[in-house]
């Protein structure tokens, strides 16, 4: 079976190919810059070599100067011009000027030294090097000032030797091509070595891919991180952390399904049995009693279903908080709004509901979950407070939320157990045993602590400590 590739996969390509392409582009850029640098270096090397030869020719001509009856003469030796004879790519011209600048020997129209040309410091001679055009082609010229000291003649003569640039350019090209050939071969070798190194380096990643592909869909065991390069370990650790969260989510979903099926099966069976029993009777008062009991059972089932759904919603809210989705909320305002909403229910049950929240208390949290927490705490307090009792909802400036009632309270030995799901106190058996479990889960999502304490003079006091948000 061949693996189908999505358009996005085809567009991105392989990591090996991308690395080689980028490396090839980088090497091409380096090769271009190196070529320019190599050309100028080769040209400077050629200029240095040929300038030295030009100066040597000028000195050879200077050694042939002599005077005859007060006139400067030049005996140009063949060796002075034979220096360039081996190179057919260039031509050489010379010119000898006397003390007054008159032509003694050579070509008349050689270009003179431009004004401002500096004397060379590379050689111990009164020489000037410059570029010029002569007879339609570029030349390199050296002007050597030669002192003449004779009884009848005393002054400075000038010898100029010019050479066409063909030989220099050919030498520079040869040096450049030699450098490019070696660098090109080195670049290709480097790419081959990099390809081999990348192939070897990617073998652990390929082995990891095969290991993941061979796993079953429900296999969420941690991936092994042994014999992996250091750069791959953060990826494997991130995948293992994701698998842990996913496994926890699956476990909670399975637990939710198991809890729901277990808790809903019995009341649904009892409701169905009661309805069937009522249907067998022919008396209207029995039918009415059956319908009233069925309505009560339906209300209990609805309440249980809502609490189960609340447990399921807590996970998404906790994930939103962990991913930075928490909001800055005023806990006092939330308490006031929910207290006003539940005031009619408290009045109906004959319970006095009091609120103590004098100033804003800012925390970070998810508003839906916090409303669920407050609703469960107040609902439990109202359910266990007898008529004529009091329920106090208090918000402290330190971020402490308190719900206090006048009910029977919870014995100290059972205060940790009531946070377990579906735990019902043997003495009462009220509710589904999910209210305080929901409170505990919401506190965990908000990194808050919840404690149960005995109220004064009697009853239960639930304390939830939130961390303040300084804003």
Per-residue pLDDT tens digits for 291-321:
877 777 777 777 667 766 766 667 666 676 7
The C-alpha atoms of residue 414 and residue 43 are separated, in whole angstroms, by 95
Pairing relation of β-strands 362-365 and 352-356? Answer: unpaired
Q: Taking 70 as the threshold, does the pLDDT of residue 262 lie above it?
A: no
* pLDDT (tens digit per residue) in 372-425: 899 889 988 998 899 999 999 999 999 999 999 988 888 888 887 877 776 665
Q: Taking 50 as the threshold, does the pLDDT of residue 2 lie above it?
A: no
Report the b/e string of 442-466 with b at 16+ CB within 10 A. Answer: bbebbebebebeebeeebbbbbbeb
Confidence (pLDDT) at 427: 45
Pick the range with the lowest mean pLDDT from 35-39, 151-155, 203-207, 248-252: 248-252
327-465 topology per CATH: Heat Shock Protein 90 (3.30.565)
Burial (0-12, 13-18, 19+ Cβ within 10 Å), 469 = middle
Confidence band of 326 (pLDDT split at 50, 70, 90): confident
Confidence band of 246 (pLDDT split at 50, 70, 90): confident
- Domain ranges for the chain: 64-166, 241-322, 327-465
Pairing relation of β-strands 390-395 and 400-405? Answer: antiparallel
Phi and psi for 240 in degrees, rounded to 5?
Answer: -65, -40
Residue 20: count of CB within 10 angstroms of its CB: 16
Confidence (pLDDT) at 361: 92
Which pair of tokens denotes residue 47? 């200029």
Confidence (pLDDT) at 169: 77
Burial (0-12, 13-18, 19+ Cβ within 10 Å), 334 = buried
Confidence (pLDDT) at 360: 92
Sign of the torsion angle spanned by Cα atoms 196, 199, 201, 203:
negative
* pLDDT (tens digit per residue) in 183-224: 788 878 888 888 888 788 777 777 777 877 787 777 777 777
* pLDDT (tens digit per residue) in 420-455: 776 665 544 445 567 788 888 888 888 899 999 888
Pairing relation of β-strands 154-164 and 92-97? Answer: antiparallel
């Amino acid at each position: 079976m061949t693996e189908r590739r999505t358009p996005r996969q085809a567009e991105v390509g392989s990591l090996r190919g991308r690395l080689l392409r980028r490396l090839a582009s980088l090497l091409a850029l380096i090769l271009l810059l190196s070529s320019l640098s190599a050309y100028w270096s080769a040209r400077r090397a050629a200029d240095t070599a040929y300038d030295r030869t030009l100066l040597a020719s000028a000195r050879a001509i200077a050694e042939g100067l002599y005077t005859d009856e007060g006139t400067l003469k030049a005996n140009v030796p063949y060796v002075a011009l034979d220096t360039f004879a081996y190179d057919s790519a260039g031509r050489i011209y010379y010119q000898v000027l006397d003390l007054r600048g008159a032509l003694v020997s050579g070509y008349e129209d050689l270009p003179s030294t431009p004004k401002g040309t500096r004397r060379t410091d590379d050689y111990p001679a009164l020489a000037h090097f410059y570029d010029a055009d002569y007879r339609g082609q570029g030349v390199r010229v050296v002007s050597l000032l030669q002192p003449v000291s004779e009884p009848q003649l005393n002054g400075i003569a000038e010898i100029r030797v010019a050479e066409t640039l063909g030989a220099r350019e050919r030498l520079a090209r040869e040096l450049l091509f030699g450098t490019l050939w070696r660098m090109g071969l080195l670049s290709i070798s480097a790419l081959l070595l990099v390809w081999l190194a990348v192939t070897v380096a990617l073998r652990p990643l390929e082995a990891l891919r095969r290991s993941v592909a061979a796993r079953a869909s429900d296999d969420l065991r941690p991936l092994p991180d042994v014999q992996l390069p250091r750069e791959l370990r953060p990826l494997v650790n991130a995948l293992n952390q994701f698998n842990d969260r996913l496994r926890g989510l699956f476990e909670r979903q399975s637990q939710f399904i198991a809890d729901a099926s277990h808790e809903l099966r019995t009341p649904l069976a009892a409701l169905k049995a009661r309805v069937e029993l009522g249907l067998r009777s022919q008396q209207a008062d029995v039918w009415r009693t059956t319908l009233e009991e069925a309505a009560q059972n339906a209300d209990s089932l609805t309440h249980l279903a809502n609490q189960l759904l609340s447990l399921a919603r807590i996970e998404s809210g906790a994930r939103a908080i962990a991913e930075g989705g928490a909001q800055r909320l005023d806990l006092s305002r939330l308490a006031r709004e929910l207290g006003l909403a539940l005031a009619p229910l408290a009045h109906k049950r004959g319970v006095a509901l009091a609120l103590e929240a004098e100033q804003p208390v800012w925390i970070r949290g998810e508003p839906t979950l916090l409303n669920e927490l407050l609703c469960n705490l107040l609902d439990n307090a109202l359910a266990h407070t007898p008529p004529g009792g009091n329920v106090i909802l208090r918000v402290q400036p330190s971020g402490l939320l308190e719900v206090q009632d006048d009910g029977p309270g919870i014995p100290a030995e059972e205060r940790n157990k009531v946070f377990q799901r579906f735990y019902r106190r043997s003495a009462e058996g009220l509710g589904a045993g999910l209210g305080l479990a929901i409170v505990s889960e919401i506190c965990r999502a908000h990194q808050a602590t919840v404690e149960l304490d005995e109220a004064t003079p009697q009853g239960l006091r639930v304390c939830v400590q939130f961390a303040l948000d300084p804003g």
